[in-house]
Amino acid sequence: MTDAMDKRAAGNPPAPGMDVELYLGMYEQMAKIRAFENKVNELYTSAKMPGLSHLYIGEEAVAVGVCSALTREDYITSTHRGHGHCLAKGAQVDRMFAELLGKKAGYCAGKGGSMHIADPQSGNLGANAIVGGSAAIATGAALAAKKLGNGRVVVCFFGEGALGQGLLYEAMNMAQLWKLPILYVCENNQYNEYTHFRETAAGELADRPKAFGIHTETVDGQDVRLVYETAQRLVERARRGEGPAFLLCETYRYHGHHVGDIDRSYYRSKEEERYWQEQRDPLKTLADWLSGAFQVHRSAFEQIENSVRAEVEAGAEFAIQAPFPDLSEVTEHVYAESPDA
């Protein structure tokens, strides 16, 4: 963890755009997510990982920008494409890998897997494998935060595919009615699985939350500075009791819907993929800005990349070596222990 991140955790964020350490910290987090996801892909293709995974590569600026505006006590809900959110909110690489491999040391003791990482310590209410499935859970956590007066804010992450789910609208309606401290973060990565969102969504996406009177902003989700500055404003607004907001982030999924989605020509072109990877990459965008504005040398980024790669390699190795759960654990945690009546 960098010094800048320590400062943030202590609740003392520096002024946006003024602190090179802050943005180097975000670069490190984005690089870590990318290295993590590349390793996941490698584990999958070498048949070391059971099941499959939905990679977050290309969308790193959204998770990092938004979570950088949160405290550790704030809550998030995540999605089937959730590794980035979990890492950005404070999950450790080794326990993440352990969960992906179904090991006892994982965040869910091996019972959740890639799509269900949850961690009370970092305020992660859980990744959800039902598209839009956490919209009401997140909103309920915001209701609880308001009732308890604990000053916490909830971020509900979802993809543009979730805009097809009615639950989200039911929940946003109540969030606005009751001025709940929640930020709905829509990651428009352009595709609902294998279908472009223009084929599934009528009208403009941002008009939908606006219909409830919810404060709505749209940002370039590839620019972590913009995401962070906007999220910070919206989070602080929610913390002041001014109600929910909706942040639409335009972004792109570099890989397929999941690790096995290799041949994508029937739904999108190589040219389009190249455009986003070459012209709109969130790491490159931030590195260019840091180099220009602060004369950060290329070697600084290389150093960060080497360090996160080492962390990822060590984390994956830990997970590979870690034991599977004992077979007796299959019936554990079906129910939480309750007081005797």
Partner 1 sequence: MSMQNRPMREITFGEAIREALAEELRRDPRVFIIGEDVAEAGTPFKVLSGLVQEFGPERIMDSPISEAAITGMGVGAAMTGMRPVVDIMFGDFVTLVMDQMVNQAAKMHYMSGGSWKVPMVLRTTMGATRRSAAQHSQSLHALLSHIPGLKVAIPSTPYDAKGLLKTAIRDENPVVFFEDKMMYRNKGLVPEGEYTIPFGVADVKRPGSDITIVATSSMVAVALGAADKLAEIGLSAEVIDPRTTLPLDKEALIQSAKKTSRAIVVDEGYEQYGVTAEIASVIADGAFYYLDAPVKRMGAMNVPIPFSPVLEDLTVPTEQAVFDMAKTLCGRV
List Cβ neighbours of 244 (8 Å cut-off, separation of 6 or more). Answer: 142, 172, 175, 176, 179, 180, 181, 182, 183, 184, 214, 215, 238
What amino acid occupies position 178? W
50: closest CA among 259, 257, 193, 264? Answer: 259
- Residue of 14, 16, 140, 151 that binds partner 1 (CB under 8 A): 140
Which amino acid, 212? F
Q: Which is nearer to partner 1, 13 or 161 (CB)?
A: 161
Distance CA 241, CA 54 (A): 35
211 three-state secondary structure: helix
Alpha-carbon span 105 to 102, nearest angstrom: 9
Residue 13 is given by DSSP the state: P
Q: Under the criterion CB under 8 A, does residue 155 sit at the interface with partner 1?
A: no
Interaction residues for partner 1, span 177-216 (CB under 8 A) = 177
By C-beta, is 170 or 242 nearer to partner 1? Answer: 170
Least distance in angstroms from the C-beta of 111 to partner 1: 5
Segment (H or E) for 233: helix 224-239
What does the per-residue mask of binding to partner 1 show for 98-137, with x meaning CB under 8 A?
--------xxxxxxx---x-xxx----xx-x-x--xxxxx
Give min distance, CB of 118 to partner 1, in A: 4
Q: Which is nearer to partner 1, 58 or 133 (CB)?
A: 133
DSSP for 110-158, please give it. Answer: TSS-GGG--BGGGTEEEE-SSTTTTHHHHHHHHHHHHHHT----EEEEE
Kindly state the smallest distance separating residue 313's Cβ from partner 1, in Å.
25
Interaction between residue 166 and partner 1 (CB under 8 A): yes
Write down the least CB distance from residue 113 to partner 1, Å: 9
Q: Which of 76, 88, 138, 316 binds partner 1 (CB under 8 A)?
A: 138
Residue 191 phi, psi (nearest 5): -130, 130
β-sheet bridge partners, residue 192: 195
Q: How many CB atoms lie within 10 A of CB 337?
A: 6
Q: Cβ 325 to partner 1, closest distance in Å?
A: 9
CB of 29 to partner 1, least distance (A): 23
CB of 225 to partner 1, least distance (A): 31
Among residues 96 and 283, whose Cβ is nearest to partner 1? 96
Residues 304-333 that bind partner 1 (CB under 8 A): 332-333
- CA–CA separation, 291 and 287 (whole Å): 6
- Residue 10 touching partner 1 (CB under 8 A): no
The single residue among 5, 40, 143, 296 that binds partner 1, judged by CB under 8 A, is 143
Q: Do the bridges between strand 191-192 and strand 195-196 make them parallel or antiparallel, or are there none, so unpaired?
A: antiparallel
List 20, 52, 144, 300, residue binding partner 1 (CB under 8 A): 144
Binding flags for partner 1, 74-93, as an x/- string (CB under 8 A): -x-x----------------
Q: Which residues form the interface with partner 1 (CB under 8 A)?
A: 75, 77, 106-112, 116, 118-120, 125-126, 128, 130, 133-145, 147-148, 152, 154, 166-167, 170-171, 173-174, 177, 332-341
